[in-house]
Structure 1
Amino acid sequence: MSNPLNDLINDIIARIEAGVPPWRQAWKASADPKAPLRATGEPFSGSNAWLLAFAGALRGYRSPYWFTFRQALSINAPVAKGEKGSPAILYKTRVVGDPADGADVGPADDTGDPRILRYLKTYSVFNAEQLTDCPQQYLNVVEPDPAARAAARNAVLDAIPARVEFGRGTPCYVPALDLIRLPLPEAFDTPDDFLATKAHEQLHWSGAAHRLDRTFGKRFGDEAYAFEELVAEIGAAALGLRIGLAPQLLDSHAAYLGHWAKILRHRPSALLEASGHAQRAVDYLLAFSAQAAVAALAA
């Protein structure tokens, strides 16, 4: 059966094979990344977060707001003639034999439980800047104060209780010791390079057996570690969107580009699977700073 994301997956594979993953390429010459927002102001999550942020950055949109065709009409700001939408992903479930479909629900296996069919479809969304006479509330985006944004980045990453050992030459997470090893901050070209590397290793840290227990060996065999790197890459990009931290391409991870392209060609759905794991990791890591903020208010 044809995957509705075939065109998108093929484009992503081509970009990876060209040497720069799309979740990094968009911000090479772009401003502070922003998490894409629905028409209601609610942030997109999962794959849609980095897919739409990527699309917006490549096209130079400053507004983080995205609308469906009908949502644009509902605010009297129809999509401008000739504008092309960006793909977003909708996950749906259906009980096989659902009475709503005019059929009896029946057990699908020996457990006696009805079978749940999960599938996805794509739909088009348009940035606020693609609309005609869009209300200014969706266009007048206030840029955050750089000092405040930098403090927020540090607060989020510092709240993650990972054990970090500084002074090592190669950044890495060591599962056997459950610690992150990082060069000293001054060894990096910029503060953002240091923070992006730290975030990447914290994504790995989240996958430990006593945390989110990410294990891919049985499914991906020799590609297991490359897949974990893909999860950490997408996760660090998604986390960066939440805190305004542009992804950085780490030289030590360039070797995985061929593995990622191979995995996606063999199993296109792996991209969405990796995005799902990445989103769970981001939610897990952000919970620490949320807890710290609640504790500070209660003090």
Structure 2
Amino acid sequence: MAANQIFSDKVAEALIERIQAGTAPWQLPYEESLHSTLPMNPTTGRRYNGINAMWLSITQPNADPRWMTYRQAAEKGWQVRRGEKSTLIECWVFEKQEKDEKTGEKRWVRLDRPFWKPGYVFHASQIDGLPELPVPKHDWDPIERVEALLKESQADIRHEAGATPHYSLTKDRIVMPERGQFLDAGRYAATALHELGHWTGHPSRLNRSMAHAFGSPDYAREELRAEIASYLLGQELGIGHDPCQHDAYLGSWLAALRQDPREIFRACADAEKIVTHVRQFDLYQTQEQTQTQGVQKATTPQPQREHLEPAIARAPRVKPVLPTKAMGMSR
């Protein structure tokens, strides 16, 4: 069996087990902490994305988000302990080196057909000599950051007393209950980010297929994309994520995964596109670019030709506000 098929089946099997247990694929298997963030590589200062972000999140034994290859650890003077087993991830190669026939110089050429290759990484808990991960410091409020992002997006957000949160494709409008109907600002922010995820699907933005009947398999697939995106954004912005709103879709997601294990890969890829689109409205992104020691300063590194998926450095995180059941967030 091909390595990529083995990886797909392994990930799908793990996620199916979690869904059968009533757990959303992106729910963290460990207690949140001040370090909680998305899996990242401390040698590059970048986070893992796509399916790798979800896979490493549910695989890592604690809230330390740091993962790297054996070689990357060794180059820093750190040592993977003898007997430790690596974790398989997917990598895509987009370029190759070719020798210029005239000059004899080597140059990188973009491939017409990128190819998949396995990657093997180790968690920080498997590595000796790695500096302790300090508590991130920040001078911004996560709720204010989300509010500024929503305003900068210029999304049409209407507040109606008693309304169920939803996005109207025909009106290109987000409808939210009044702020006072939420138990706290974190719940409001998490709900708004979820709906903003749907908002990105409009033809004038990312142009996803959106016109689906409520409760249909295609509707559930769109919810899956918005949910993963809101989880990623919630972790990135420091407000956490509400794990309760997925209940109505667990059956649909389980059926989709059993039918096609690659569906979760496509959903994660689409969710990353949502995050990238929404991130352009984050005014705080360039204000705090210093990662903690072991999560290096987020300067722009040189392009890596063979990498563990493209990833983007993040601003420091704070302890997320993990909401309980928020009203109507599954729309």
- In which range does the TM-score fall when normalised by the shorter chain? 0.7 to 0.9
CA distance in 2 between counterparts of 1:80 and 1:154 reads 45
1:272 Cα shift? 1.1
1:92 Cα shift? 3.3
The one-letter amino acid paired with 1:169 is A
What does residue 317 of structure 2 align with?
none
Q: Are positions 1:162 and 2:155 aligned together?
A: yes
What does residue 129 of structure 1 align with?
125
CA distance in 2 between counterparts of 1:165 and 1:146 reads 30
Coordinate RMSD, CA, aligned: 3.0
What does residue 202 of structure 1 align with?
196
CA contact (8 A) 2:225 2:268 kept: yes
Q: In the TM superposition, what are the counterparts of 1:1-299 in structure 2 within 5 Å?
A: 2=2, 3=5, 4-26=7-29, 29-32=31-34, 33-38=36-41, 39-56=43-60, 59-62=61-64, 64-92=65-93, 116-134=112-130, 136=131, 139-145=132-138, 148-166=141-159, 167-215=161-209, 222-251=216-245, 253-290=246-283
CA distance in 2 between counterparts of 1:163 and 1:250 reads 26
Consecutive unaligned residues of structure 2, counting only runs of 5 or more, are 100-110, 288-331
Per-residue CA deviations over 1:181-228 (Å, capped at 9, x if unaligned) read 11223322332222111111100000011111001789xx95211110
CA distance in 2 between counterparts of 1:161 and 1:182 reads 15
CA distance in 2 between counterparts of 1:259 and 1:170 reads 21
Q: More helix per residue: 1 or 2?
A: 1
CA distance in 1 between counterparts of 2:75 and 2:286 reads 37
1:293 Cα shift? 6.8
Aligned length: 267
The one-letter amino acid paired with 2:32 is S
CA distance in 1 between counterparts of 2:21 and 2:156 reads 36
Change (3 A) 1:119 1:35: same
Consecutive unaligned residues of structure 1, counting only runs of 5 or more, are 101-114, 295-299
Deviation larger for 190-199 or 115-124: 115-124
CA distance in 2 between counterparts of 1:86 and 1:210 reads 39
CA contact (8 A) 1:23 1:234 kept: yes
CA contact (8 A) 2:80 2:126 kept: yes
CA distance in 2 between counterparts of 1:87 and 1:236 reads 25
Structure ranking higher on relative contact order (CA contacts 8 Å, 6+ apart):
2
CA contact (8 A) 1:50 1:238 kept: no
Deviation larger for 8-17 or 185-194: 185-194
1:45 Cα shift? 2.5
Per-residue CA deviations over 1:215-242 (Å, capped at 9, x if unaligned) read 1789xx9521111011111111111222
% of aligned pairs identical?
28
CA contact (8 A) 2:143 2:185 kept: no
1:276 Cα shift? 1.1
CA distance in 2 between counterparts of 1:206 and 1:149 reads 21
Per-residue CA deviations over 1:41-61 (Å, capped at 9, x if unaligned) read 1222322233333434xx223
1:145 Cα shift? 4.6
1:180 Cα shift? 1.0
CA contact (8 A) 1:168 1:181 kept: no
Per-residue CA deviations over 1:139-196 (Å, capped at 9, x if unaligned) read 2323335863443343334432211121243111111111111122332233222211
TM-score (norm 1): 0.78
CA distance in 2 between counterparts of 1:173 and 1:160 reads 15
The one-letter amino acid paired with 1:91 is W
1:291 Cα shift? 9.8
Q: More strand per residue: 1 or 2?
A: 2
CA distance in 2 between counterparts of 1:217 and 1:158 reads 26
